[in-house]
Amino acid sequence: MERNEAIEILAEGRGDAVSVVTMQSVYPWHQAGQGEIFHVDASQCMGSASSIGLGLAVARPDKKVMVLDGDGSLLMQLGSLVTIAGQSPANLYHFVFANGLHQSTGNQPLPAIGQFDWVALAKGAGYADALRIEAAEDLLERLPGIFAMTGPVLIELTIEREDREPLWAGVPMAKQTALLKEQLAASS
């Protein structure tokens, strides 16, 4: 599926979940109108989206937390899978946009691409569940059921290669985290 197809479906099905988005999903997430409420970009900290999501999920067990991660980004902080599993946040939904590339730095192929399996890695780390979705229609159909699952859940999304310059939303993370803190306090 294309990244923008996945973003549209996730934006539509998000509800009031807190979103943490990193790298090349940030700009389209903002374009889909999702960057203003209950949201933070994991910008300039490649590989940290899942850890930020974990902190939010543990701090606010009453809110669903969705992490939109890149496969290259997650690969840089692979130990976060075990850390997340150890905390077992029932409200964490970890979407991995898997295109096999470090897209933000020029579309370099990931090391050992085709030799590892995100679903198996998540399950082996101790996630409550993990699944792979390859088509937009399947994501659309399965998303309500995914959000009904007890987390942590990893959802690998097979994303087509995009041959274009990286896109950046350019929103300072410090301002976003301050706004998110205010929004979460008001929703208590």
Query: Amino acid identity, residue 155?
Result: I
Phi, psi of 13 (to 5 degrees): -95, 5
Cα–chain-centroid distance for residue 34? Answer: 13
Characterise 181 by phi-psi region: left (phi > 0), alpha (psi -120 to 50), beta (else).
Answer: alpha
In a domain? residue 187: no
In a domain? residue 151: yes
What's the average pLDDT block by block, 10 residues per block, for the chain (188 residues)? 95 97 85 92 82 97 96 87 98 91 59 80 98 98 98 94 62 68 86
In a domain? residue 137: yes
- Given this model, what pLDDT does residue 173 score? 59
Query: Amino acid identity, residue 82?
Result: V
Residue 71 belongs to domain with CATH number:
3.40.50.970
In a domain? residue 186: no
Number of domains composing the chain: 1
In a domain? residue 85: yes
Q: Nearest-5° angle of CA 109, CA 5, CA 52?
A: 65
- Given this model, what pLDDT does residue 117 score? 93
- Given this model, what pLDDT does residue 124 score? 97
What pairs with residue 49 in β-bridges? none
In a domain? residue 185: no
Whether pTM exceeds 0.75: yes
Taking alpha carbons only, the member of 87, 86, 105 closest to residue 47 is 105
Structure tokens at 27: 């700009």
In a domain? residue 60: yes
Instruction: Domain of residue 27: give its range.
Output: 3-180
In a domain? residue 160: yes
Q: How many CA atoms lie within 13 A of 33 on its CB side?
A: 7
